[in-house]
Structure 1
Amino acid sequence: MEKTTDPTAVIIVVSDRVFGGERKDKASPAATQLLTEAGFQVAPPVVIPEGDEALRGAMAQAVKGGNSLILTCGGTGLGPRNLTPEVSEEFISTRLHGIETQVLIDGLEHSPRAGLCRGLIGLTSREPGASLIVNAPSSHGGVRDTLGVILALWPSLTEWVR
């Protein structure tokens, strides 16, 4: 079945400093630009603090909203409040380990710090109509590397995602 509507994306920025106004959000503008150029309808970014409660609510709303792609930016590091992978795992039924590895390899070509990202990638279901959940770091380069892989593979993923 061929899709006739553009895919939709929601970006969730997970950062205490961005949420508190101490730091400018550099991730979501980069992600919005890349996704828009790729033909996605992108909702305004949701900015939340680190931790599990706010992210769990934002993820549930994004999944319920029927988005093709749910991109988180931030919360993938080693800090005690960096819980994005743990919360995302609650919504992922099928991890895509190969794509996670592709993102890591691509990221390592640009920065040795790419190996510090614990981000997950997976589908909310193995049935058609699923959402793809992608955890990216909060850096502009991390978002670029992550979406570079995802967007290159998007045509192969459209059989399963909304």
Structure 2
Amino acid sequence: MTKIGIVTASDRASAGIYEDLSGKAIIEVLGEFIASEWEYIYEVIPDTQEEIEKTLIKMCDTHQCDLVVTTGGTGPAPRDVTPEATESVCEKMMPGFGELMRSVSLKYVPTAILSRQTAGIRGKSLIVNLPGKPKSIRECLEAVFPAIPYCVDLIGGSYIEGNAEKIQVFRPKSS
């Protein structure tokens, strides 16, 4: 069974000041896109690099998640440190994910160039940073999800089957 970590980095959501709609949006979209059996581990944490790093390491190393999806902390503000935390814990960075997400988001808002989403690999886990707004989460996941199952295959993770009625997953014919 595929394990997916979902991490919301938000001081206010982690303090209970408001409901975490972004993490729930990730769960909803992945529920539409994934046809195979999967489970998720969900955490809402403060926006500190130390806490984000610790949580990413736990998701990858302890929980052995095949995919870890984060939301929040990808802008230019001083507290936005999710990309730095991701880079700090990964062996390989996958900049194409961020490039594609920014490209797609630019169709909707000119401020997409301020976004710093990225992705990386830690062991057998793919970590993908998403923006913080539910609408943007859907747009970005629609763009990058077709490549996620094959990437997870290549790093030795679980087989993720896409729901062909909702999204077309790409795997080369030889896979």
Partner of 2:17: 22
The more displaced of 31-40 and 59-68 is 31-40
Tell me, what secondary structure is at the counterpart of 2:154? coil
Amino acid at match of 1:100: G
Partner of 1:119: 117
Quote the offset at 1:161 in angstroms.
4.6
Name stretches of at least 5 consecutive residues in structure 2 with no aligned partner.
158-175
Amino acid at match of 1:84: T
Identity of aligned residues (%): 27
**Paired positions, count:** 153
The one-character-per-residue Cα deviations of 1:21-65 (angstroms, maximum 9, x if unpaired) are 222211111100111222262424200011112112111100112
Partner of 2:72: 74
Give the 4+ runs in structure 1 shifted more than 4 A: none
* CA–CA separation in structure 2 for the residues paired with 1:76 and 1:27: 13
Amino acid at match of 1:104: R
* CA–CA separation in structure 2 for the residues paired with 1:102 and 1:108: 10
The one-character-per-residue Cα deviations of 1:52-81 (angstroms, maximum 9, x if unpaired) are 121121111001121111111001112222
TM-score, scaled relative to structure 1: 0.86
Name stretches of at least 5 consecutive residues in structure 1 with no aligned partner.
none
Partner of 2:57: 60
- Of 124, 142, 147 in structure 2, the residue corresponding to residue 148 of structure 1 is 142
TM-score, scaled relative to structure 2: 0.80
* CA–CA separation in structure 2 for the residues paired with 1:68 and 1:147: 16
